[in-house]
Structure 1
Amino acid sequence: MNEEQLDLEAGLAAEAKAEPQTPSGPRRIAVRDLRPGLQVEDIYLLSAKETKVTKAGKPFYRLRLSDRTGSIDCTVWEIEAMSAEIKVGDLVTATARVTEYQGKMQLEATRVVPAPPNVAQPQDFLPSTYRDVEELKGFLRFHIDSVYDPDYRALLAKIFDDPGFMQAFVTAPAAKHNHHAYLGGLLEHTVAVADICEFVGQQYGRVDRDLLLTAALLHDVGKVEELSYETVIDFTDAGRFLGHVIQGVALVWAKAKELPSFPETKLHQLLHCLVSHHGELEWGSPKRPKTLEALILHHVDNLDAKVKGFLEIVEGSRGATWTDLRNLFRRPLHVPRALHQEEDFLPATDEDLET
Structure 2
Amino acid sequence: MNEQHVPVPRAGADIVVEKLPRVFRIQAIERLPFDQKSMRSCAALFHERATLNVEWLSKHCDVRLTVGSLVSIRWSGRPVSCNGAVRIARLVLLEQPEASINLFDTIPTAWVRDRELVQRGRAIWAALPRGFCHMFNAIFWEAGRFHRYVSGPSSLRGHHHAPGGNLRHCIEVAERALGLAAKDTAACVNVLLLAALLHDAGKADEYRLVNRRFELSDRGRLVGHRHTVIEWIAAARARYQVIVPDADYLALMHVLTCAKGAPPWLGMREPQSLDATILQMADRVSAQGELIGRHAPGETGFGRYHPHLGMRPFVVRASG
* TM-score (ref. length: structure 2): 0.57
1:144 to 107, 125, 138: 125
Q: Does 1:226 align with 2:206?
A: yes
1:135 to 97, 105, 116: 116
Letter in 2 for 1:309: L
- Tell me which residue corresponds to 1:59: none
Q: Report the secondary structure of 1:258's partner residue.
A: helix
> 2: CA distance between counterparts of 1:135 and 1:159?
23
Higher relative contact order structure (alpha carbons within 8 Å, sequence separation ≥ 6): 1
Letter in 1 for 2:249: L
Deviation per residue, 1:155-211 (Å, 9 max, x gap): 122224443322111111001122001100001101111111222221211221111
Q: Does 1:287 align with 2:275?
A: no
Deviation at 1:238, TM superposition (A): 0.8
> 1: CA distance between counterparts of 2:267 and 2:279?
13
> 1: CA distance between counterparts of 2:216 and 2:262?
21
> 2: CA distance between counterparts of 1:194 and 1:162?
23
- Tell me which residue corresponds to 1:304: 286
Cα 1:274–1:285 change in 2 (3 A) is farther
Q: Report the secondary structure of 1:233's partner residue.
A: strand
Cα 1:313–1:204 change in 2 (3 A) is same
CA contact (8 A) 1:275 1:285 kept: no
Cα 1:336–1:233 change in 2 (3 A) is farther
Q: Pairwise mapping of residues 1-355 of structure 1 onto structure 2 (< 5 A)?
A: 132-148=113-129, 150-230=130-210, 231-260=212-241, 261-276=243-258, 279-281=260-262, 286-314=268-296, 318=298, 321-323=301-303, 325=305, 327-337=307-317
Q: Report the secondary structure of 1:183's partner residue.
A: coil
Cα 1:285–1:221 change in 2 (3 A) is farther
> 1: CA distance between counterparts of 2:170 and 2:306?
27
Deviation at 1:246, TM superposition (A): 1.0
CA contact (8 A) 1:133 1:170 kept: no
CA contact (8 A) 1:212 1:293 kept: yes
Letter in 1 for 2:287: A
CA contact (8 A) 2:187 2:275 kept: yes
The answer for unaligned runs of 5 or more in structure 2 is 1-111
Deviation at 1:233, TM superposition (A): 2.4
Q: Report the secondary structure of 1:228's partner residue.
A: strand
Identity level (%): 23
Q: Report the secondary structure of 2:314's partner residue.
A: coil
- Tell me which residue corresponds to 1:86: none
Letter in 2 for 1:255: A
Letter in 1 for 2:124: H
Letter in 1 for 2:206: E
Cα 1:326–1:144 change in 2 (3 A) is closer
The answer for unaligned runs of 5 or more in structure 1 is 1-130, 341-355
> 1: CA distance between counterparts of 2:179 and 2:304?
34
Deviation at 1:225, TM superposition (A): 0.7
> 2: CA distance between counterparts of 1:324 and 1:133?
27
> 2: CA distance between counterparts of 1:326 and 1:293?
30
Superposed CA RMSD in Å reads 2.8
Q: How many positions carry a matched residue from both structures?
A: 205
Letter in 1 for 2:288: K
Cα 1:256–1:307 change in 2 (3 A) is same
Cα 1:259–1:294 change in 2 (3 A) is farther
Q: Report the secondary structure of 2:213's partner residue.
A: coil
* TM-score (ref. length: structure 1): 0.52
CA contact (8 A) 2:254 2:271 kept: yes
